[in-house]
A and B are shown apart, each in its own frame.
Chain A
């Protein structure tokens, strides 16, 4: 059971990372984590290191790629960006997520019997 739960969480984080990179263009790990926190209006306080597991997983599947470049302050940093496969995956996953969310929403809206 714990296994499948963490899988869902992993999947959620991966989806957020994909979406963030799609929206913001190339970002380094810090930027990605920070961005997700900001979007969630600081509701989601990540243990920021966990973002790297997600980044490795996405790279291994070929959905994002990482390249070393210079950061804003001209420091060396690794920038991640979406690949074409990643873009496709994102739209598929988004559809999927929306469908699940709507199903869950409908289920949760069920009236409880008095």
Chain B
């Protein structure tokens, strides 16, 4: 063992000090020769004779040096260098070949690099927390509710009673107004329990985070805040002495106690400013177990505790709470979701599909380059045979071929990185901002290592086929015969296989992208239940010490009046939750005449508050009854408007008008039924929704919707002025045309559809080039045969049919295999599809025809060349 190590060490040294040692050995040999010569001279030989004899006694100097080199380990690196030099010479000699090969590889490797950099940022780096695989998100679920936020008292009970978690933290988003130079600016506020930052391993770069004392349930607020890095940097000028300083907020000043590091991010809560959550417990809503604003809960399992064991633990606790508080908790379960599923679950399949598609594109690039190499290996056959004849071993030849292919793929990889670098930013513009850490996408070392590995692997992969052919060489035949290699049936079969495979793979990718595009267009065609054109949506959140119900009613009343008076405005209204992003409020409901059940077992409806002209402004259709009127105020009887889904669910066969529904803690009379508004997104089935008149349940956070005759975006400014004119302390949070929100809601779909289409297009291009390559080669090899045929009386049409017929046959086989493959693989994207089946015959048919057309075109160009073959030239050619 030791001697082996020593030998390796000596050899390794030999590799690096190669030249010097080589020279020394030459010296040694020269000395030896001199001494031998002298000896011969001493014996009486004339000098010339003596020298000749000495040379014979010593043996061939070149051979000796070669042996010495081999023994001292020079050979490995030198052989490699030699091979690399040779490969570079080959590349320079055929720049066209090299350019096509490198470009093809660059497309394949570049696509993989780009997609992997997204995978790296989003799937591998977006949750940078200690023991991330033990972090879970906890939510609650009633028998008929779906997943819900957690009630605060339940959270405290979980914290006290569980035996499975080493830590639990509560968090909730909130809106907040920062006074930037006296001007109100909305910032994102996060309410967090004191355990939140330690659980995520976030250490402040300045100051500290909250203590348990500052976060007592129902305790009083301290004015300490923890701030995010960007807020510190952008709004507070990176003041290094910020700790203890006071920052002005609308609700009063606050003192900075800590600044978070730039690396801190949490997909569940985007916030600039953090307050403790404990004091919220003083408010009645938060104390309620059934009708509460809700908090979100993050927890870390103790080491060694399985998800199932923790679930059992939580089930016991929830059963106990169900007995203790039957009205609110009976039958309620705690749902546990690993953090990666909770925040990446929706994007992971999309990225993996894209990653898989990119791998397919790389495969196509490999096939094309292998095909190129194969064509060239035909012309290099004599070279290889010659080298074998003068003593190169097969291993040696293989090594050289692989050196060439790996070198080429490394060049392709380098070009691919450039390509990824240039195209990544435009592509990322398409990416939805909601994807965790999408802004962290970069070409870092991990990505570059991935690219290097991919390039090496690629080189070996496409070097394999020509390599195999090289070693199977029949010396005698290759040296003697000069005819085409197309006559080697194995090689011909291999090419046909490549062609069939390429068309099949391209078909699968194009069908996949076709399905996603059809799905996107189906989504965009969905009737959202309102007319999003010429509609501005402006989010508002009134705040300040003076805010109470009367203030809110007055504020929004005056605001709507002033906005309605703006030029170009047709109507204006306000709603708590405008489509298409999410639902804020939910409540259990019960219809009149239905069996009385405890609230925890009732089904749930979304609750929304709307001002009088809301439906009219949205142009939502009225199916029954009436819209709200100004008479539906705080003093009037409680009324509601239901959406179609809820009305049908409650009273499937009769009119809902005049019936009563118990929701949001009261019995309310139904006065109207409207068409479903797509609150959650275009491609998500409408939830049951109950609309309350704003005056009967005023809240501070509303969305102003404004119908205009002009471009709604131009109205933003004057609406902002209107807000300030009502109360200069208030401001708009965000404002955008409703069409923008619809766009944003389909961003994930657009992202995957466009990206997959791009990859599909690449695949189509590569397959077309591949088909063209194989067919062009075929024509070139059969020039002689075609000449004979034409000399014997075949007309150009026959030749064209012959050549295209062969291509069409292969393409059809490829399309057949591709359709089977697509039937199997499109199931993987079924969950991403909306309004189109994963086996949509229209897409399958259209893409098959497209592929056949492209393949025929790729065959037709070389076949036309075959048609023009002059039989005389063709026959003379060989």
Chain A residues in the interface with B (C-beta under 8 A): 28-30, 33-34, 47-50, 52-53, 56-57, 59-62, 68, 71, 75-78
Nearest A-chain residue to B34, judged by Cβ: A75
When the two chains form their complex, are residues A71 and B7 in contact, meaning their CB atoms are under 8 A apart?
A: no
Residues on the B chain within 8 Å of A50, using CB: 59
**CB-nearest residue of chain B relative to A34?**
B39
Query: In whole angstroms, how far apart are the Cα atoms of A62 and B32 in the complex?
Result: 23
- Residues of chain A lying within 8 A (CB to CB) of residue B72: 56, 60
Q: A67 CB to closest chain B CB, in angstroms? A: 12
B10 touches A48 (CB 8 A): no
Complex Cα–Cα for A57 and B36 (A): 23
Distance in Å: Cβ of A54 to nearest Cβ of chain B: 10
Establish whether residues A52 and B36, one from each chain, have CB atoms under 8 Å apart when the complex forms: no
* Cβ contact of A47, chosen from B3, B6, B57, cutoff 8 A: B57
With a cutoff of 8 Å between Cβ atoms, the chain A residues found around residue B25 in the complex are 52
Q: In the complex, are the beta carbons of B68 and A60 less than 8 A apart?
A: no
Kindly state the separation between the CA atoms of A75 and B39 in the bound complex, as whole angstroms. 15
Complex contact A29–B7 (CB within 8 A): no
Cβ contacts under 8 Å, A59 to chain B:
10
A76 to B35 CA separation, bound complex (whole angstroms): 12
A30-B36, A78-B28 known, 15 other contacts, Cβ within 8 Å? A30-B35, A48-B32, A49-B59, A52-B28, A53-B68, A56-B72, A59-B10, A60-B7, A60-B71, A61-B6, A61-B7, A62-B3, A62-B6, A71-B35, A75-B34
Q: Which of A47, A53, A57, A76 contacts B27 (CB 8 A)?
A: A76
| Distance A62 CA – B3 CA, assembled complex (angstroms) | 8
Which B residues are in CB contact (< 8 Å) with A78? 24, 28, 31
B28 close to A60 (CB less than 8 A): no
Asked if A30 contacts B6 (CB within 8 A), the reply is: no
Q: In the complex the two chains form, is B31's CB within 8 Å of A30's CB?
A: yes
Given A48-B59, A77-B28, A60–B10 Cβ distance below 8 Å?
yes
CB contacts (< 8 Å) of B67 on chain A: these are 52-53
Confirm or deny: B64 has a beta carbon within 8 angstroms of a beta carbon on chain A: yes
Given A52-B64, A60-B6, A62-B6, A47-B59 contact (CB < 8 Å):
yes
B58 adjacent to chain A (CB < 8 Å): yes
CA distance A65 to B59 in the complex (A): 24
* Closest B residue by C-beta to A37: B57
Given contacts A53-B68, A53-B71, A59-B10, contact A71 B31 (CB under 8 A): yes
The 8 A CB mask of B8-43 against A (1 = contact, 0 = none) is: 001100000000000011011101101110010000
- Count B-side interface residues using an 8 Å CB cutoff: 27
27 pairs from A and B in contact (CB 8 Å cutoff): A28-B28, A28-B31, A28-B32, A29-B32, A30-B32, A34-B39, A47-B57, A48-B32, A48-B36, A48-B58, A48-B59, A49-B59, A49-B64, A52-B25, A52-B29, A52-B64, A52-B68, A53-B67, A53-B68, A56-B68, A56-B71, A61-B7, A62-B6, A71-B31, A76-B27, A77-B31, A78-B24
B71: A residues at CB distance < 8 A: 53, 56-57, 60
Residues of A within 8 A of B64 (CB): 49, 52
Measured CB to CB, the residues of B under 8 A from A are 3, 6-7, 10-11, 24-25, 27-29, 31-32, 34-36, 39, 57-61, 63-64, 67-68, 71-72
Whole-angstrom distance between the alpha carbons of A30 and B36 in the complex? 8
Q: Which residues of A contact B36 (CB under 8 A)?
A: 30, 48
Most buried by A among B3, B58, B63, B72: B58
Q: Which residue of A lies closest to B39 (CB)?
A: A34
CB neighbours of A49 from chain B (8 A): 29, 58-61, 63-64
Find chain B residues with CB under 8 A from A53 CB: 67-68, 71
Least distance between B66 CB and chain A CB atoms (Å): 11
Could you tell me the distance in whole angstroms from the C-beta of B616 to the nearest C-beta in chain A? Answer: 95
Chain B contacts of A33 at CB under 8 A?
32
Contacts of A47 in B (CB 8 A): 57-59
Q: Which of A47, A52, A53, A59 has the most CB of B within 10 A?
A: A52
Q: How far is the CA of A52 from the CA of B22 in the complex (A)?
A: 13
In chain B, what residue has the closest Cβ to A56?
B71
Minimal Cβ-Cβ distance residue in B for A63: B3
- Report the nearest B residue to A51, measured CB to CB: B32
Shortest Cβ distance from residue A32 to the other chain B in the assembled complex, whole angstroms: 10
Q: How far is the CB of B14 from chain A (nearest CB, A)?
A: 9
CA distance A2 to B217 in the complex (A): 89
A76–B27 alpha-carbon span in the complex (Å): 9
Interface hub of B24, B35, B68, B72 (most chain A Cβ within 10 A): B35
Q: Top 4 nearest A-B pairs by Cβ distance?
A: A49-B59, A30-B35, A49-B64, A47-B59
B residues near A57, Cβ cutoff 8 Å: 71
Give the shortest distance, in Å, between A97 (CB) and chain B (any CB). 20
> Roughly how many angstroms separate A56 CA and B71 CA in the complex, as a whole number?
7
- Residue ID in chain B nearest A85 by CB atoms: B3
The docked-state distance in angstroms from the alpha carbon of A76 to that of B31 is 8
Please, which residues of chain B bring their CB within 8 A of the CB of A62? 3, 6
Q: Which chain A residues lie closer than 8 Å to B6 at the CB level?
A: 60-62
The smallest C-beta distance from A49 to any residue of chain B, in angstroms, reads 3
- Chain A residue, CB-CB nearest to B28: A78
Shortest distance between the CB of A108 and any CB in chain B (Å)? 32
Q: How far is the CB of A104 from chain B (nearest CB, A)?
A: 28
Distance in angstroms from B56 CB to nearest chain A CB is 9
Q: Give every chain A residue within 8 A of B35 (Cβ-Cβ).
A: 30, 71
**A68–B32 Cα gap in the complex (Å)?**
14
Q: How far is the CB of B606 from chain A (nearest CB, A)?
A: 81
Closest to A50 in B: B59
Output the nearest chain B residue to A59 by Cβ-Cβ distance.
B10
- Taking the closest CB of chain B, its distance from the CB of A43, in whole angstroms, is 16
Cα A78 to Cα B29 in complex, Å, equals 10
Report A-chain residues with C-beta under 8 Å of the C-beta of B59: 47-50
B58 contacts which chain A residues (CB < 8 A)? 47-49
CA distance A33 to B36 in the complex (A): 10
Cβ contacts under 8 Å, A56 to chain B = 68, 71-72
Are A48 and B57 in contact, with the CB atoms below 8 A? yes
Q: Taking each of B10, B31, B61, which has the highest tally of chain A beta carbons within 10 Å of its own beta carbon?
A: B31
Docked Cα-Cα span, A61 to B58, in Å, equals 24
CA distance A57 to B67 in the complex (A): 11
Shortest A52–chain B CB gap in Å is 6
Q: Which residue of A lies closest to B3 (CB)?
A: A61
- Residues on A with C-beta less than 8 A from B24 are 68, 78
CB-nearest residue of chain B to A53? B67
B59's closest neighbor in chain A, by CB?
A49
Residue in B closest to A49 when the chains form the complex, CB atoms:
B59
Question: What B residues does A71 contact at CB under 8 A?
Answer: 31, 35
Chain B residue at minimal CB-CB distance from A71: B31
Roughly how many angstroms separate A30 CA and B64 CA in the complex, as a whole number?
A: 14
- Inter-chain CA distance A60–B28, complex, in Å, is 18
Q: Which residues of B contact A52 (CB under 8 A)?
A: 25, 28-29, 64, 67-68
A47 to B56, CA, bound (A): 8
Of all chain B residues, which has the CB nearest A33? B32
Nearest Cβ on chain B to A20's Cβ, whole angstroms: 16
Report the Cα distance A62→B7, complex, angstroms.
9
User: How far apart sit A50 and B64, CA to CA, in the bound complex (Å)?
Assistant: 8
Q: How far is the CA of A5 from the CA of B25 in the complex (A)?
A: 28
Residue of A nearest to B54 (CB): A48
**What residues on B are CB-neighbors of A29 within 8 Å?**
28, 32
Give the Cβ gap from A38 to chain B, nearest Cβ, in Å. Answer: 11
Q: In whole Å, how far is B393's beta carbon from the nearest beta carbon of chain A? A: 16
Choose among A30, A50, A57, A76 the residue with the greatest number of B CB atoms under 10 Å from its CB: A30
Closest Cβ of chain B: how far from A11's Cβ, in Å? Answer: 15
A86 CB, min distance to chain B CBs, angstroms: 12
The CA-CA distance from A75 to B24 in the complex, in Å, is 14
Give, as a whole number of angstroms, the nearest-CB distance from A73 to chain B: 8
Whole-angstrom distance from the CB of B704 to the nearest CB of chain A?
86
Which B residue's beta carbon lies closest to that of A77? B31
